[in-house]
A and B are shown apart, each in its own frame.
Chain A
Amino acid sequence: MDSRDKELINALHGGVPIEERPYAAIAERLAMTEEEVIGRLQTLLDDRTLTRLGPLYDAARLGGAFTLAAMAVPEDRFEEVAEIVNSFPEIAHNYAREHSLNMWFVVGAERPERIAEVLSQIKDRTGLEVLNMPKEEEYFLELRLTA
């Protein structure tokens, strides 16, 4: 990644415009050609500097319900409990974290009632408490890349 790539990535923070030739519009702002913008973005995606380029959807606003849940899992049961939790298709992400609450996962479902069902089933099948921590408010600002 060179300085022009960084300028390009920073320019994308304003968003890719919705118009016939959006990359040409970005190119114009950066005094690049449309081909150069497309070529650089392709390289940044190919080398995994960028994981994705496109619409960032707000999953909750597309419908469905989500929550974050946490469990304190005894160390000797960690694998077993992870397997139970991960077996639910509604579990999108599950992270081990260094804390007494050492398992944190995101539950997503089409129907809000399903969230409570999944959490209750996890509790029943593991015999462990599941703390439900749904988002009550979001204070959103995009992560800026100033590498």
Chain B
Amino acid sequence: MSNAMDIPIETGLDPVDRRIVAATQAGLPLVARPYHAIAEELGLSPADVMHRMQRLLDAGAIRRIGAVPNHYALGWTANGMSVWDVPDEHVAEAGQMVGALEFVSHCYRRPRHLPDWPYNLFAMVHGRDREEVADKLTRIAAVLGNWDCGHDVLFSSKILKKTGLRIAG
């Protein structure tokens, strides 16, 4: 497997967990009893698979078991990385507020690099076109009020590499 990452056991995943992660990276089987199918593939009991996956879910290693929509197929072709300069003492609260907006898919605090890069809050915004993204930025700015000490949006113009992160089984 190219670009595989060997995950050390001391991070909390035992070898059986790792096999389950590797077996489900491509997805959950679309059959009536998907956890039984995984169990059969790995030679485990269904109860063990479900118990381990529940534990990974409870620990946050699995965020949730769900669907990933294809933004492009849904017509969400404008993806802007919006970046905000928010006073440090308010950034945690600001992040919660911005992250809760339904059109923000990811919201992170990252370090500034002064003087060139004053921004410390990143929010990924999706829209059907750039105008829609711009409207959404206006809404973020309204939420932030005078905590918005400056912002910008960076549209991606080209994907140069996208291999993703893979975990070795």
Contacts and interface: CB of A to CB of B under 8 A. Distances in A.
A139 B95 contact: yes
Given A86-B161, A93-B162, A143-B105, A137 B92 contact: yes
Interface string B15-34: 00000010011111011111
Interface residues of A, number: 77
B139 to A, nearest CB: 15
Q: How many B residues touch the partner, as a band?
A: 35 or more
Nearest to A44: B67
Interface string A46-72: 011111111111110111101010100
B109 interface: yes
B60 interface: yes
A101 B160 contact: no
Interface in A109-147: 109-110, 131-147
Q: A interface, by DSSP: helix, strand, loop or mixed? A: mixed
B65 A55 contact: yes
Contact of A141 (B13, B57, B99): B99
Contact of A96 (B7, B91, B157): B157
Q: B interface, by DSSP: helix, strand, loop or mixed? A: mixed
Contacts of B5: 63-64, 108-110
Contacts of B13: 62-63
A5 to B, nearest CB: 11
A-B interface, 10 closest residue pairs, ranked by CB to CB distance from nearest:
A139-B99, A63-B11, A54-B27, A143-B105, A139-B95, A54-B28, A94-B160, A63-B7, A94-B161, A139-B107
Given A55-B21, A56-B63, A143-B69, 13 more contacts: A52-B68, A62-B7, A63-B12, A85-B161, A86-B160, A93-B161, A94-B161, A95-B156, A108-B165, A135-B109, A138-B106, A138-B108, A143-B126
Interface of A: 9, 12-13, 15-24, 34, 38, 41-42, 44-45, 47-59, 61-64, 66, 68, 70, 82, 85-86, 89, 91-101, 103-105, 108-110, 131-147
18 contacts: A15-B65, A19-B35, A50-B68, A53-B67, A54-B27, A55-B56, A56-B62, A62-B167, A66-B165, A82-B161, A98-B155, A98-B157, A101-B154, A110-B7, A132-B111, A138-B106, A141-B99, A143-B126
